[in-house]
Chain A
Amino acid sequence: MWFPLSRYKVVGHSMEPTLKDGDTLWVNRLSYLFSSPKLDDIVTIQLQGQRGKVLLKKIKKVTKDSKYFVEGLNKTDSYDSRHFGPIDKNKILGKVIKKY
């Protein structure tokens, strides 16, 4: 069943110190229905070739062709746009709105 709000549990360290391994998050999947992701938004993304995994990244840059350059906060332990390039908006699943 599809819900506008989803709960996720963080696995890994690439978003430390802001989001730590084991933190639980609320993600709004409707945040970008009528607007575009903004710089510094923390978002969940899903890419091809990742076996359906949902990844957690921060929007670092919006490119001229309206793609999004995403990075982990902990750059030494992050697989992100430095490797796979900027991503389209349709790869962004939602915006992290709360940690608890």
Chain B
Amino acid sequence: MFLKTIDKIFPPQPVYAHCDIPCGIYDPYQAQVAAHTVVRMVTLLDEVNASSPEPDFDERKRIISRVARLTSVKEEHAEMVKREVRIIWGDYFKPEHAEKFPNLHQLVFDIMKLASKARQEVNLEASRQLLGKVQEFAEIFWKTKDKEPVRVKSTYPTEGELVLPK
């Protein structure tokens, strides 16, 4: 009682049983959304067509503009996949996670390479492989949190899945 009264008059200073950085807030959701976006951009790029082998100047401008915009978003989101995965891999995962999931490092390596490939090329197969690897990564992440990962159908035009905790 006496000590509690003292605490009210002279509050004790905080001692942190956690740290701001890393903050403990990690989620592979953003990486998955970015990977879906890459797939979608590649699909849209594949759908770009000209009305004739020699379209007129205005149509060429429209095509160039659309390809530029789709490519820009594809590049941006492939890079986002790399960034989000790198943060979780570098800041969240610990040696015991890598021991428990021995394919973790190879998986991250594959994601980096596939994301680069998705940037360099208009390659639907590579972008789908990228999404698949990111989903595997998300499954490992949730397992390390003792959460059962489940695959749910996304509402995206890619019609792919998202890995979420059950």
- A8 interface hit (Cβ, 8 Å): yes
Q: By DSSP majority rule, is chain B's interface helix, strand, loop, or mixed?
A: loop
A54 close to B17 (CB less than 8 A): no
A24 close to B16 (CB less than 8 A): no
- Rounded to whole angstroms, the CA-CA distance of A12 and B21 in the bound complex is 13
Flag the segment in B6-14, B71-79, B116-124 that touches A: B6-14
Size of the chain B interface, CB-CB below 8 angstroms: 21
A50 close to B14 (CB less than 8 A): no
Return the chain A residue nearest B21 by Cβ: A79
Known: A76-B145, A82-B94, A82-B95. A56 touches B3 (CB 8 A): no
A78 close to B18 (CB less than 8 A): yes
| A contact residues around B24 at 8 Å (CB) | 77
Known: A77-B24, A82-B94. A54 touches B18 (CB 8 A): no
- Rounded to whole angstroms, the CA-CA distance of A95 and B63 in the bound complex is 69
Q: B23-67 toward A: CB 8 Å interface, digit per residue (1/0)?
A: 010000000000000000000000000000000000000000000
Return the chain A residue nearest B15 by Cβ: A8
Return the chain B residue nearest A7 by Cβ: B12
Return the chain A residue nearest B22 by Cβ: A79
Enumerate chain A interface residues (CB-CB to B < 8 A).
6-16, 19, 21, 24-25, 27, 44, 50-51, 53-56, 72, 75-79, 82-83, 100
